[in-house]
Structure 1
């Protein structure tokens, strides 16, 4: 199968692929998604096959409006409507209870709920509108690998497996959306992202729980990223907890026989002398730029380098740092550099 690179001028062709049950990767403000008609079970099954994704891992359903959500979800609460008005389009995914028999269990992982998102990308919103159907959209990468933030990341993983990639340049945020469960009386964040619990609480005027837990093998996760290892390059990632620990980390790297990758802010990289077996990747100036560049850095070392280990800078869990550390811990398998 040829994989076409589509631009805005090719929107009709990309929408035609979706309607015909083919797979098209699409851009969002977070990462690139792998799109298929959410109402076509055979098309959705192709998403799992292309990614090598476990079929009990539910898929996020991308919509172009609140009205499209209402076609599938049970009546929305006033709180849910306020969240939609405040944060959509944007990096907030909301889990709702579904009407009976409106979406295949292949989409929901067998659950009676589904996660909906209205992405802040004009090209993708136009794609959904032209196709006339909601579009499932897990990250457009091989399952478990770092998420794609440019079209070429998608092409590297999925060329020959999907019909096309709608290219709209680099993604704005670089980490996936916040996932908020509104299917129960107590709202809960299942995956942190750019929208914080504090921002959500200001809108709905009630506490938001943090329900990020590891899901056992026999359980079905309610949201993506809760059960399986995610975001991991081939090299082992080690989290360096603070900038002052990089001095010891640099010494450790110099002692390694194999090449070592280092992902850190410019302040760290400029203040240390690394040995010749170290390749560096800048995370910019702060945690915001680091969140934007995290997946790009992991993919750089996975696709374009031969490092065997990666030292990555950690940040505090405040604000966007919570989302950054959530993804970094998953990519590292919770492993930290020990002096």
Structure 2
């Protein structure tokens, strides 16, 4: 089946925004146990050698990430997922054929040779093959240094729980000069990969993303189980904590009528940000003390712009960010997920 999340043919061979020397230097840093931030089509990742426990520990330390929160292993297009897993189910191969390179992470049983550090101590491992040409060039160069089996562990390149980065400047804003960054331009998808668990004999969606439940069902012939908070046997996975992806400015996600109540109840000269569809904003789009942002009507555009918007609003001199709740439909499941987790970080304040 055709899939818009996969890159065009020849994408990795196109002219890169970084030089071969820069790619080689970054691969050598990874080989020496260092960290490199690099672009993917989803967000920028903070990468280290997935088979080097010390490098993985440096990722956790840089992010301030809990050691039991697993990271995703990124593979080159020619990489062999069989090296990393105990067994590659036929369902996994079908999904790989359909969506790799692209924004789909598969959770599978981890091979005994792979250190548990990348899995937060679990017996599973998350694998994906990104489609961004700079990511592919880096992964290919690093894998060549490792006899074809190099993998890069890479959560998002930001402090744990904060807004993920979609540009090299976002990474520099988080870490300054402490992290080596490959600048590949803005990420096209803009939110993290879909995470699908295949480690328990059935498909289960752990994190929504550009690859939708319907996309998965079209390939597998069955719909994945959707996360509802009741699956106690689900493996821990990146970005699935209740509160995550949060800006530093308090954020509320509510239906527009509830937002109007908050807007009307503002005290004195309080200045707030309002992110809502232009067709709903009405008088609030021009109200004094309201920094209005017209929300994209298309879910893919909204996803692409979301993290950059939240970072910009952190610099906008507003006391609160008020965001209109989006339609509860499958097209909006990924954006709703990220906004819901961002708002959850501030629920105790409301």
Structure 2 length as normaliser, TM-score? Answer: 0.85
Structure 2: 5+ residue stretches without partners: 1-15, 144-149
Cα distance in 2, alignment partners of residues 18 and 210 from structure 1: 36
Determine the structure 2 residue equivalent to 1:3: none
Post-superposition offset of 1:126 = 1.0
- Of the candidates 102, 116, 121, which is equivalent to residue 110 of structure 1? 121
Matches within 5 A, 1:1-339: 8-9=18-19, 10-65=22-77, 67-100=79-112, 102-132=113-143, 133-162=150-179, 164-213=180-229, 222-227=236-241, 229-242=243-256, 247-253=260-266, 255=267, 257-268=269-280, 272-302=284-314, 304-333=315-344
RMSD: 2.4
Post-superposition offset of 1:317 = 2.8
Q: Which moved more, 1:10-19 or 1:40-49?
A: 10-19
Q: Which moved more, 1:58-67 or 1:85-94?
A: 58-67
Post-superposition offset of 1:251 = 2.5
Post-superposition offset of 1:145 = 0.7
- Asked whether the equivalents of residues 149 and 174 of structure 1 are also in contact (C-alpha less than 8 Å), the reply is yes
Cα distance in 2, alignment partners of residues 286 and 63 from structure 1: 30
1:21-79 deviation digits (Å, cap 9, x = unpaired)? 11111111111111111011111101011111111100000001364211111231221
Cα distance in 2, alignment partners of residues 153 and 246 from structure 1: 29
- Asked whether the equivalents of residues 190 and 210 of structure 1 are also in contact (C-alpha less than 8 Å), the reply is yes
Cα distance in 2, alignment partners of residues 35 and 51 from structure 1: 11
Cα distance in 1, alignment partners of residues 17 and 67 from structure 2: 30
> Would you say how many aligned residue pairs link Structure 1 and Structure 2?
324
Structure 1: 5+ residue stretches without partners: 1-5
1:139-168 deviation digits (Å, cap 9, x = unpaired)? 111111111111111110012332x11111
Cα distance in 2, alignment partners of residues 236 and 106 from structure 1: 33
Distance 1:53 1:212, change over 3 A: farther
Post-superposition offset of 1:320 = 3.5
- Asked whether the equivalents of residues 63 and 157 of structure 2 are also in contact (C-alpha less than 8 Å), the reply is yes
Distance 1:34 1:260, change over 3 A: same
Cα distance in 1, alignment partners of residues 38 and 65 from structure 2: 18
Q: Which moved more, 1:117-126 or 1:309-318?
A: 309-318
- Asked whether the equivalents of residues 31 and 142 of structure 2 are also in contact (C-alpha less than 8 Å), the reply is yes
Distance 1:49 1:335, change over 3 A: closer
1:183-225 deviation digits (Å, cap 9, x = unpaired)? 1111100011111111111111123101352899xx9952112
Post-superposition offset of 1:329 = 0.7
Structure 1 length as normaliser, TM-score? Answer: 0.88
Post-superposition offset of 1:288 = 2.7
